[in-house]
Amino acid sequence: MPITWLWRRWRKRKLAVRITSYHAIYGRKSGISGVPESLNFFLWKACNDILPTKEKLFKRKVVPDPLCPICMSAPESISHILWTCPSAQDVWAECNGKLQKSVCIDGDFIEILLKVGQGLDEDERHLMVTVARSIWLRRNKLVFEGIFQAPATVVRSAREQVEALDNVTRRHSVPSPRSIAREEVVWKKPPQGMVKINWDRGKIGMGAIVRDHSGKVIAMTSGPREFVNDPSLVEALAAREAVDLSISLGFQNCILEGDELELINAITQDEPCRGTYGQIVNDIKFLLLQGGHWKVSHTRRAANGTAHLLAKMGLLLLVSQIWTSDFPPCLDDIVRTEQSF
Ligand SMILES: [Zn+2]
């Protein structure tokens, strides 16, 4: 079976705790809606302990030592690099008010966020997460470019990002002609009694989402995949996995929707396909004939946003995951936006 089913109870429980922590930090409705996806995504990765720290890479035998690339005096865990490392403490000390006074708190990164976040209002929590992300980006700039920013620069940049977002949010009520044009390409709900599966795949990550006629999410999958350099083959492999997922979950009336027009045409035409790509397409055709009612349709990339994000998320996960509840909260915004059309 192409999809590895590795969902286990202990993992689900662990993830549920982490998702609860995430919501406790930001709130399911209030904070997330105004925050950029990149920041939500960063917070979700930090809460789920999947940022590629040296401690993590060392365990996977990717780097020869686990030491923090900045202070070189302790293993680089998420809580170390974002909070307890002297270089991170220097940054937090540059922040004003409660954030500045919180530098003595210790523990797991989620615990730190929860403890500090409890005493902050929404704007301060937003700044806290933005600063944390800026510390992580500063660390990457040092590792990959040899440039190290001063603490004051990091905090100033984070403040500017928060202020810029505030200004955008205030202007949000007047849509620009460009945004109106973009809204015309939107995800559409399937008819009553059918489910729609959207899928996408990058070179090393795959994602798919199943939704019903009301736009409610029924299942999602995301995971890493072997590197494949051929874009057509990549999309075809992902399509086959999406079909496998739907069949495994027992869906009978399905719309399979992807954003690669050439592949959709190849699946829907009667003639057999040739070559490696063709074999996968023929597999898909065979699976679709095994039962149920299938419709295969094309959509634009702009209307395939959640599947696209799931594919990007896939390269950050160690193993493939399938969710039928407790969906990753960093996708709440995009799912809600797509659902509203
Ligand atoms: Zn350090």
Give me the DSSP letters along 282-326: HHHHHHHTTSSEEEEEE--GGG-HHHHHHHHHHTT-SS-EEESSS
How far, in Å, is the centroid of ligand 1 from the Cα of 149? 15
H-run or E-run covering 245: helix 231-248
How far, in Å, is the centroid of ligand 1 from the Cα of 104? 16
Q: Return the structure tokens found at 57.
A: 């890479």
**Residue 31 in this model has a pLDDT that exceeds 70:** no
pTM over 0.75: no
pLDDT, one tens digit per residue, over 198-211 is 988 876 778 899 99
86 CB neighbour count, 10 Å cutoff:
11
Residue 154 and residue 321: Cα distance in Å, rounded? 35
Q: Give percent of the chain above pLDDT 70.
A: 78
Residues in the chain, total = 341
- The CATH code belonging to domain 195-339 is 3.30.420.10
Higher per-residue confidence, 30 vs 77: 77
How far, in Å, is the centroid of ligand 1 from the Cα of 97? 24
Higher per-residue confidence, 135 vs 172: 135
pLDDT at 100: 66
Q: Return the structure tokens found at 240.
A: 């086959």
Residue 229 and residue 160: Cα distance in Å, rounded? 38
Residue 105 and residue 107: Cα distance in Å, rounded? 7
How far, in Å, is the centroid of ligand 1 from the Cα of 59? 18
CA distances from 240 to 74, 196, 271, 278, 306 (A): 45, 15, 18, 12, 18
Higher per-residue confidence, 321 vs 185: 321
**Residue 175 in this model has a pLDDT that exceeds 60:** no
How far, in Å, is the centroid of ligand 1 from the Cα of 43? 20
Q: For residue 232, what are the contacts with CB-CB under 8 A and spacing of at least 6? A: 260, 262, 263, 277
Give the residue from 166, 154, 138 showing the smallest Cα distance to 35. Answer: 166
Q: Please, how many CA atoms are within 13 Å of residue 303, restricted to the half-sphere of its CB?
A: 20
Mark residue 274 as left, alpha or beta (left: phi above 0; alpha: psi -120 to 50; beta: remaining).
beta
How far, in Å, is the centroid of ligand 1 from the Cα of 68? 5
Residue 220 and residue 209: Cα distance in Å, rounded? 4
**Residue 245 in this model has a pLDDT that exceeds 90:** no
Domain residue spans in the chain? 9-171, 195-339
How far, in Å, is the centroid of ligand 1 from the Cα of 83? 9
pLDDT, one tens digit per residue, over 62-117 is 899 999 999 999 999 999 999 999 999 889 888 877 676 665 566 677 777 777 77
How far, in Å, is the centroid of ligand 1 from the Cα of 79? 10
Residue 171 and residue 8: Cα distance in Å, rounded? 45
How far, in Å, is the centroid of ligand 1 from the Cα of 41? 23
pLDDT, one tens digit per residue, over 128-142 is 888 999 999 999 999
Query: Which value, to the nearest 10 degrees, does the dihedral of the CA atoms of residues 147, 152, 153, 159 take?
Result: 140
Q: Return the structure tokens found at 152.
A: 């004051």
How far, in Å, is the centroid of ligand 1 from the Cα of 93? 16
Q: Please, how many CA atoms are within 13 Å of residue 274, restricted to the half-sphere of its CB?
A: 0
Higher per-residue confidence, 33 vs 140: 140
Residue 211 and residue 95: Cα distance in Å, rounded? 43
How far, in Å, is the centroid of ligand 1 from the Cα of 151? 14
Residue 215 and residue 203: Cα distance in Å, rounded? 28
Q: Do 282 and 243 meet the contact criterion of CB atoms below 8 Å apart? A: no
Q: What is the mean pLDDT of residues 31-51?
A: 69
Mean pLDDT of the chain: 77
pLDDT at 283: 87
pLDDT at 177: 47
